[in-house]
């Protein structure tokens, strides 16, 4: 166990172009940081401009390649496609795509309208498909790549109080399975990561109470808090050539909750 902070280094990620959605905060920010520390060329999309700038300034002191940020509303598919095209024009083919962006806002089943349902699908599911569709041609021409979709254990528990989010996260696993078959012939791997209770700043601020934290510790086999960088290190492996024969899988990282 890397008690001193020395974790795996993946030579295959060096200089690889990595695109991360929702990279300005939470797990996304940890992904940007961990890929940057692998000397990857990182580009990320988000709407939180100030957080993105602060993250880039922080990593500019330690990263070989300064991460690139594009402000993008992922629910705007035309804008998403344009942002990806801009990244490809500037840096070349995307070799790693991490579909991370999501929002786990709570909502009561009885209060969900058709409009809210559609908005939740747009925020949590739809952009996964269209980001993959956009990067696939360049990735294919470059000889392949790795796509990692972020799901959640929410649909496995199952969680209550956010049914649209849970549905979207289950859908991501199905999307991963089918696209792994669609794209496998192009040497493009598609996998899924399902985190448990990850202690992001947002989770601590909005949802983590002493009672909820006690419930987490009771349900997890590992009696410690799980952090964004724990998830990021699993994603690094799946993105690297070390995971070159793994595709169509869903990896649960929850400390043994489910």
CA pair distance 258, 211, nearest whole angstrom: 19
Q: Phi/psi of residue 148, each to 5°?
A: -120, 120
- Find out whether 165 and 104 touch, Cβ atoms under 8 Å: yes
CA 153: distance to chain centroid? 14
**Cα(141)–Cα(219) distance, integer angstroms:** 45
The two three-digit tokens of residue 31, written as one number: 């992904």
CB burial of residue 48 (10 Å; 0-12, 13-18, 19+) = middle
Residue with tokens 């922080």: 58
Active site residue 165: yes
Q: Which of 10, 116, 165, 212 is catalytic?
A: 165
Helix, strand, or coil here: 25? coil
Q: Is the peptide bond before 158 cis (omega within 30 degrees of 0)?
A: yes
A 10 A CB-CB count for 117 gives 15
In sign, the C-alpha dihedral spanning 150, 67, 229, 16 is positive
Q: Report, as residue numbers or ranges, the catalytic residues.
A: 165
């Amino acid at each position: 166990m890397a008690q001193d902070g020395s974790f795996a280094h993946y030579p295959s990620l060096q200089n690889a172009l990595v695109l991360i959605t929702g990279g300005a905060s939470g797990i996304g920010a940890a992904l940007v940081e961990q890929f940057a520390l692998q000397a990857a060329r990182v580009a990320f999309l988000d709407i939180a401009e100030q957080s993105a700038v602060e993250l880039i300034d922080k990593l500019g002191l330690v990263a070989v390649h300064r991460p690139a940020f594009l402000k993008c509303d992922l629910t705007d598919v035309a804008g998403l496609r344009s942002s990806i095209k801009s990244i490809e024009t500037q840096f070349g083919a995307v070799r790693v795509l991490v579909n991370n962006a999501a929002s786990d806002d709570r909502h009561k089943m009885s209060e969900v309208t058709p409009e809210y349902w559609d908005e939740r699908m747009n925020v949590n599911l739809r952009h996964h498909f269209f980001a993959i569709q956009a990067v696939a041609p360049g990735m294919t021409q470059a000889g392949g790549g790795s796509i990692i979709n972020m799901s959640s254990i929410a649909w496995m528990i199952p969680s209550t109080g956010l049914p649209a989010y849970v549905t979207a996260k289950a859908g991501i696993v199905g999307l991963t399975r089918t696209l792994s078959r669609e794209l496998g012939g192009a040497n493009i791997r598609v996998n899924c990561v399902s985190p448990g209770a990850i202690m992001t700043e947002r989770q601590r601020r909005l949802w983590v109470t002493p009672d909820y934290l006690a419930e987490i510790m009771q349900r997890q086999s590992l009696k410690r808090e799980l952090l964004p960088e724990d998830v990021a290190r699993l994603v690094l492996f799946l993105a690297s050539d070390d995971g070159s024969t793994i595709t169509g899988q869903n990896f649960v990282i929850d400390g043994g909750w489910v």
